[in-house]
């Protein structure tokens, strides 16, 4: 059977790895063009394919018109190929780190990519003609996959595809761990490098099956990430980073329902930047956009994690303050006004930002039937505040 021939099996597996890489490129060319995680995963797949190709570049394997191809001795093919395989695992680990949207320095990337492979290569060259070459490889592979599995475990909270990755990593950990133990307790004779050296049939089949499972699971996780990004873009105002009306709909409904059944109040503030039309007319729309961004950034810095900022439209913003009464909300808005007036929120603005606001809470207006009615009351208070400018108007229960 052809699967009993390592050369034929390698010839089958190598294009399989290259086709997997190509399919990933084509599948995510548009959305994934600037996706660092995808770039690292593709680099790992290419390194995996290079690992298979290295075994084919030994004397006596290519024949006929391809007899000039061999560039490695059998010992060199083993050392280079296994190091490429371990580097591929490191590249895939970096891809998973970036899928979690965590950034690190270039030095950290180099350590993660080349740390274990270089340690392995140094040990492999020393033990190349001893019985401990394969146990050393299994041990280093086990360490590389364990690092990757630790990253994947963190992903499992956010991406379903992580469970497929964990399944493949569990199989590899069992395979490499048992191999390291058995080969250490019962060492094999030194590897014969007088003829072309190939991985075992079991190892090649394991590589093919697990690589397919890992790539498929990663593709699923990547799809989930891209879907979440698209959803966030549809719910978030691209200029200020605040939620838009569509994104705030479910949150507003949930907070309103909680405030109706919970003894703790919900405060609502409607804010309008003063003289915003004059800013656009005098300084241009670029400065106007910078003013909106500066205001949003200042609110994000001062608000609590549970508070919600919504760009309601134009220069109007809505702030939901759960577990906050109208007096506490008034204090928050005063701190916001002081932060905008006293500190340079951004060097791009040649003026201090001012705003007017209307504020109410669900305890003060307990008889209001729905959120829209409460919002109308807050909007009326904002209208009164705009008459004086740079003021905060509380809703009168009467």
Q: Hey, what domains does the chain have and what are their CATH numbers?
A: 2-233 (1.20.1070), 245-394 (3.30.70.270)
- Tokens 């970036």 locate to 98
State the pLDDT at residue 365: 67
Total Cβ atoms within 10 A of residue 306: 11
Total Cβ atoms within 10 A of residue 313: 11
State the pLDDT at residue 271: 92
- Tokens 């084509």 locate to 26
State the pLDDT at residue 149: 93
State the pLDDT at residue 16: 58
Please list the rounded mean pLDDT of every run of 10 residues in the chain (398 residues).
53 59 56 73 84 79 59 84 92 89 81 92 89 91 94 86 88 90 88 76 73 78 77 80 83 82 85 88 85 89 89 90 89 90 68 88 75 86 88 77
Cα angle 246, 249, 318; round to 5? 90
Residue 107 CA to its chain's centroid (Å): 20
State the pLDDT at residue 2: 46
State the pLDDT at residue 113: 92
- In angstroms, rounded to a whole number, what is the distance separating the alpha carbons of residues 359 and 270? 7
Total Cβ atoms within 10 A of residue 22: 13
State the pLDDT at residue 369: 75
Q: What are phi and psi of 269, to 5 degrees?
A: -125, 130
State the pLDDT at residue 13: 59
Q: Which two tokens stand for residue 229?
A: 């990004």
Q: For residues 276 and 329, is the Cβ–Cβ distance under 8 A?
A: no
State the pLDDT at residue 1: 41
């Amino acid at each position: 059977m052809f699967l009993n021939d390592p050369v034929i099996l390698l010839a089958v597996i190598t294009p399989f790895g290259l086709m997997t890489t190509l399919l990933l490129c084509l599948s995510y060319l548009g959305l994934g063009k600037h996706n660092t995680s995808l770039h690292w995963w593709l680099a790992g797949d290419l390194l995996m394919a290079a690992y298979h190709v290295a075994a084919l570049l030994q004397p006596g394997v290519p024949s006929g018109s391809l007899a000039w191809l061999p560039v490695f001795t059998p010992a060199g093919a083993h050392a280079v190929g296994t190091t490429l395989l371990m580097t591929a695992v490191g590249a895939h680990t970096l891809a998973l780190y970036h899928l979690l949207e965590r950034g690190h320095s270039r030095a950290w990337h180099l350590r993660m990519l080349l740390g274990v492979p270089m340690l392995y290569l140094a040990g492999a060259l020393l033990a190349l003609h001893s019985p401990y070459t394969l146990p050393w490889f299994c041990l280093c592979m086990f360490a590389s996959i364990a690092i990757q599995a630790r990253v994947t475990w963190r992903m499992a909270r956010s991406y379903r595809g992580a469970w497929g990755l964990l399944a493949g990593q569990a199989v590899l950990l069992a395979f490499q761990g048992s191999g390291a133990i058995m080969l250490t307790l019962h060492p094999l004779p030194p590897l014969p490098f007088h003829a072309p050296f190939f991985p075992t049939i079991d190892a090649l089949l394991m590589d093919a099956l697990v690589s397919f499972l890992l790539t498929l699971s990663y593709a699923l996780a990547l799809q989930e990430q891209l879907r979440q990004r698209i959803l966030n873009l549809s719910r978030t105002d691209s200029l200020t980073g605040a939620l838009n009306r569509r994104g705030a709909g479910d949150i507003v409904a949930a907070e309103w329902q909680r405030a109706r059944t919970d003894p703790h109040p919900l405060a609502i503030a409607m804010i309008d930047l003063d003289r915003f039309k004059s800013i656009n007319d005098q300084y241009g729309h670029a400065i106007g956009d910078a003013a909106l961004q500066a205001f949003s950034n200042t609110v994000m810095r001062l608000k609590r994690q549970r508070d919600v900022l919504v760009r309601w439209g134009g220069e109007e913003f809505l702030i939901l303050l759960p577990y906050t009464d109208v007096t506490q909300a008034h204090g928050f808005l005063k701190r916001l006004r002081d932060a905008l007036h006293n500190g340079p929120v951004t060097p791009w603005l040649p003026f201090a930002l001012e705003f007017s606001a209307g504020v109410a809470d669900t305890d003060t207006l307990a008889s209001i039937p729905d959120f829209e009615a409460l919002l109308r009351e807050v909007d009326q208070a904002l209208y009164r505040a705009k008459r004086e400018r740079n003021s905060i108007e509380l809703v009168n229960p009467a």
